[in-house]
C-alpha cells in the first residue's frame, strides 16, 4: 500500500535547511548541468466520465480541422495540438468499465481479481502492472543526465480520501497504486519545505537568545559553558535563516493562495493552484514526468459555477436525448479543457531555464479520460488530446484511427522519449508497435 510521503518524513530527510533548498536547486551549476540533449517532459491530465462526442471530436481529419465547443479553449494552440480519435482501451477482464477505464488507462494491462464491486461485471482489485508515466520516469531516472529530484510528481484535484480502484491511475508496479497529492499545501511542502515554518522559527529565535542569556547569568561557571555553546548554535541557525531569506528566490517558489479549503466549490481555485505548482516544479526541474488527476473515475464534482448542480457522474448517465444534461456535460468538459488551456498557457509563458524557447517547446500534455462516453460506458474512442512539443510528433492535426489499441499510443509516448520498448502492458494489444503517422 502506498502512503503519502508526509511532511514528517520530509522533515526527517531534509531538516530545517529545506528553507535554503530552492536556492540550491536554482543554481545553474547544479540544476541544469549536462544538457547536451533537450529536456523532454510529459504531463498526463485525467478528467472523468467520458465526453460528449458530438461536441468534442472534430469532424475533419488532417491539418484543416475545426475545434468544436469543448475543445475551443485550445484554439490559440491549434498548431501545437494533436487530437487522436479511434484509440481504444481494449483491455478486458475483471472490473467494470469505470474501474478498468482508469486502472488500465496508463498500465494497458488487466486488473487483478479482487473484492471491489462496481455497477456491473466481476469485482476486481488493483492493476497488475506499472503505469507508463512511471515506466518513463524510471527510464529517465536511470540516466544521470535526465535524473531529477523527484522523477515524477503526482498531482490531484479533489480526489476522494479513499484508496480504491476508481481513485488510482498511477501504479509503480503490480498492486502498487500511487496516491495523487490533491492538497496544494501538502504538495508545496513536498516541493519547497514550508517557508511558514521558517518565519515562525525566525520569530522565536530572538526570544530564545534572550532566555538563554538570562539563564546563563545564574548558572555555575562549568554549566555556563553548555548554555553558551547552545546560544552559539542558535545564533548560527539564525544566520542561516536570514541568509536564506535575503537571497532572491526569483520564480523558484511560487506564491500560492493561503487557506483554500478542499471543498467542491473551491475546485477552480484548487485547480489553478495545482497547475501553478506543477509548472513551477517543471521550471525548477524537480521532475520531468507529472500527472494531474481531476477527481476520480466516476467522479461526482458538482460544478455549480457552471450551473451544473448535479454530480458529474450522475449527469453522465443521462441519455443523449436529455439535451439539458448533454449541455451541462459539454460545459463541464469545456471547463476541463479550459484547465488544459491554462496549463498550456503557463507552459508557453515560462522560459525554458538554461535553454532556448519555453517549457511548452519541450513538454507534451496528454489530456485523457477513462471512458469514451459516459452513458454507454464505452472504452472505444478514449479521448486523447496532445498539446505541446515535448515529443517529436507532428502537431496541428486531427487524426482518425481505425480502432487501434491504446497500448500502441503508450508505446508511442515511450518511444518519443527514446525508450524503445516493444511491449507495454498486455502484449496482445501491442502487435504492430507504436501508432502510425504520429511523427
Residues making contact with another protein (CB under 8 A):
1, 3, 7-9, 11-12, 15-16, 111-117, 122-126, 128, 162-165, 174-175, 194, 197, 200-201, 203-205, 207-208, 210-212, 215, 218-223, 226-227, 229-230, 233-234, 236-237
- Choose between 229 and 392: whose C-beta lies nearer to another protein: 229
Contact 144, 117 (CB under 8 A): no
CB of 125 to another protein, least distance (A): 2
Measured from the CB atom, the residue of 241 and 282 that comes closer to another protein is 241
Residue 18's Cβ-side half-sphere holds a number of Cα atoms within 13 Å equal to 24
Q: Round to whole Å and give the CA distance between 250 and 66.
A: 40
**What is the smallest separation between the CB atom of 317 and another protein, expressed in angstroms?**
20
Residue number, 210 or 392, with CB nearest to another protein: 210
Kindly state the smallest distance separating residue 45's Cβ from another protein, in Å: 24
| Residue 99, number of CB atoms within 10 A of its CB | 29
* Shortest spacing between CB 96 and another protein, in angstroms: 12
149 neighbors 195 (Cβ within 8 angstroms): no
- The minimum distance between CB 11 and another protein, in angstroms, equals 6
> Is the Cβ of residue 7 or residue 419 nearer to another protein in the bound state?
7
**CA distance linking residue 30 with residue 28, whole number of Å:** 5
CA pair distance 308, 224, nearest whole angstrom: 69
Q: Cβ closer to another protein: 57 or 112?
A: 112
Q: What's 262-299 look like in SS3?
A: CCHHHHHHHHHHHHHHHHHHHHCCCEEEEEEEECCCCC
- Among all chains, which residue has been given the C-alpha cell 498492486? 175
DSSP, residue by residue, 27-58: -HHHHT---SSPP-EEEEEE--S-B-GGGTS-
The separation between CA 252 and the C-alpha centre of its own chain, rounded to angstroms, equals: 19
Output the smallest distance, CB 379 to another protein, in A.
20
What's the DSSP call for residue 51? Answer: B
Beta carbon nearer to another protein, 200 or 247:
200
Residue 284 Cβ vs another protein, minimum distance, rounded to whole Å: 23
| C-alpha atoms less than 13 angstroms from C-alpha of 80 in its C-beta half-sphere | 22
CB closer to another protein out of 203 and 321: 203
Amino acid at each position: 500500500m502506498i502512503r503519502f510521503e508526509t511532511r514528517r518524513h520530509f522533515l526527517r530527510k531534509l531538516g530545517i535547511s529545506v528553507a535554503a533548498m530552492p536556492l540550491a536547486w536554482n543554481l545553474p551549476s547544479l540544476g541544469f548541468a549536462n544538457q547536451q540533449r533537450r529536456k523532454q517532459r510529459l504531463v498526463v491530465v485525467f478528467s472523468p466520465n467520458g465526453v460528449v462526442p458530438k461536441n468534442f471530436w472534430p469532424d475533419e481529419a488532417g491539418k484543416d480541422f475545426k475545434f468544436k465547443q469543448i475543445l475551443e479553449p485550445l484554439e490559440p494552440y491549434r498548431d501545437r495540438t494533436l487530437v487522436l480519435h479511434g484509440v481504444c482501451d481494449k483491455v478486458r477482464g475483471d472490473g467494470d468499465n469505470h474501474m478498468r477505464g482508469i486502472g488500465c488507462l496508463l498500465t494497458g494491462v488487466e486488473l487483478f481479481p479482487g473484492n471491489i464491486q462496481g455497477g456491473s461485471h466481476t469485482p476486481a482489485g488493483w492493476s497488475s502492472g506499472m503505469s507508463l508515466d512511471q515506466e518513463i520516469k524510471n527510464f529517465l531516472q536511470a540516466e544521470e543526465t535526465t535524473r531529477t529530484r523527484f522523477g515524477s510528481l503526482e498531482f490531484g484535484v479533489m480526489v476522494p480520501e479513499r484508496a480504491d480502484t476508481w481513485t488510482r491511475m498511477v501504479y509503480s508496479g503490480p498492486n502498487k497504486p500511487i496516491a495523487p497529492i490533491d492538497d496544494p499545501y501538502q504538495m508545496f511542502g513536498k516541493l519547497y519545505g514550508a517557508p511558514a515554518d521558517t518565519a515562525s522559527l525566525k520569530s522565536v529565535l530572538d526570544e530564545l537568545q534572550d532566555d538563554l542569556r538570562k539563564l546563563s547569568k545564574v548558572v555555575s561557571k562549568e554549566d555556563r559553558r553548555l548554555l553558551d555553546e547552545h546560544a552559539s548554535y542558535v545564533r548560527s541557525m539564525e544566520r542561516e535563516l536570514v541568509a536564506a531569506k535575503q537571497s532572491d528566490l526569483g520564480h523558484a517558489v511560487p506564491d500560492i493562495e493561503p487557506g483554500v479549503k478542499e471543498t467542491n466549490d473551491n475546485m477552480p481555485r484548487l485547480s489553478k493552484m495545482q497547475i501553478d505548482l506543477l509548472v513551477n516544479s517543471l521550471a525548477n526541474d524537480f521532475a520531468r514526468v507529472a500527472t494531474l488527476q481531476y477527481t476520480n473515475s466516476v467522479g461526482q464534482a458538482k460544478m455549480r459555477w457552471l450551473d451544473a448542480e448535479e454530480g458529474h457522474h450522475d449527469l453522465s448517465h443521462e441519455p443523449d436525448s436529455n439535451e439539458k444534461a448533454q449541455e451541462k456535460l459539454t460545459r463541464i468538459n469545456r471547463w476541463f479543457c479550459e484547465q488544459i488551456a491554462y496549463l498550456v498557457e503557463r507552459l508557453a509563458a515560462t522560459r525554458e531555464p538554461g535553454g532556448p524557447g519555453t517549457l511548452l517547446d519541450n513538454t507534451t500534455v496528454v489530456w485523457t479520460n477513462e471512458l469514451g462516453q459516459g452513458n454507454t460506458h464505452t472504452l472505444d474512442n478514449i479521448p486523447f488530446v496532445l498539446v505541446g512539443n515535448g515529443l517529436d510528433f507532428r502537431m496541428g492535426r486531427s487524426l482518425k484511427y481505425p480502432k487501434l489499441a491504446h497500448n500502441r499510443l503508450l508505446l508511442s509516448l515511450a518511444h518519443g522519449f527514446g525508450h524503445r520498448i516493444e511491449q507495454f502492458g498486455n502484449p496482445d494489444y501491442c502487435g504492430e508497435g507504436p501508432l502510425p503517422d504520429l511523427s
